[in-house]
Amino acid sequence: MRDSELTERPGKGWTPWTSGAPHGRIDDVWWAARVLHFPKLNVSCWFDGSDLVAIEHWGYRRPQWCMKKKPADWTPLPEVYRLERERGQQEALERWRAEMQARNLERLIRLGEKRAEALGLRPV
């Protein structure tokens, strides 16, 4: 696949360019697609199997995105799988928040110890 195929919207059968970030709208339609990021091109592409189904420009490019139109026999993501996916995302977010809180608390304790040492205070 050439770089030009990843950065330019293919012709017929695609939605027009939309400004801004997609914010999950691509995942709502192409729920089986996986995203690949191409940092040197400032482009993210969604692939459903080997088919390119969406393109997002970001970085130095003007933020915009487009996607392939829904097929005629399209069905939404089954509710069970959608809920499981959302639960997994929520768990990952909670793990990240807990890790950040622990890291920040540890950093705060170290800073307090350094400050007390600089002021010549003895720990009790």
pLDDT tens digits, one per residue of 103-119? 999 999 999 999 988 88
At residue 30, the pLDDT reads: 87
Task: Kindly state whether residues 29 and 66 are assigned to the same domain.
Answer: yes
CA distance 33 to 36: 10
SS3 18: strand
- In eight-state DSSP terms, residue 68 is B
pTM greater than 0.75 (yes/no): no
Task: Kindly state whether residues 35 and 95 are assigned to the same domain.
Answer: no
Domain that holds residue 14: 1-72
pLDDT tens digits, one per residue of 19-41? 888 878 888 888 888 999 999 88
Q: How confident is the model at residue 102 (pLDDT cuts 50, 70, 90)?
A: very high
Task: Kindly state whether residues 68 and 82 are assigned to the same domain.
Answer: no
Task: Kindly state whether residues 1 and 36 are assigned to the same domain.
Answer: yes
Task: Kindly state whether residues 93 and 67 are assigned to the same domain.
Answer: no
Q: How confident is the model at residue 78 (pLDDT cuts 50, 70, 90)?
A: confident
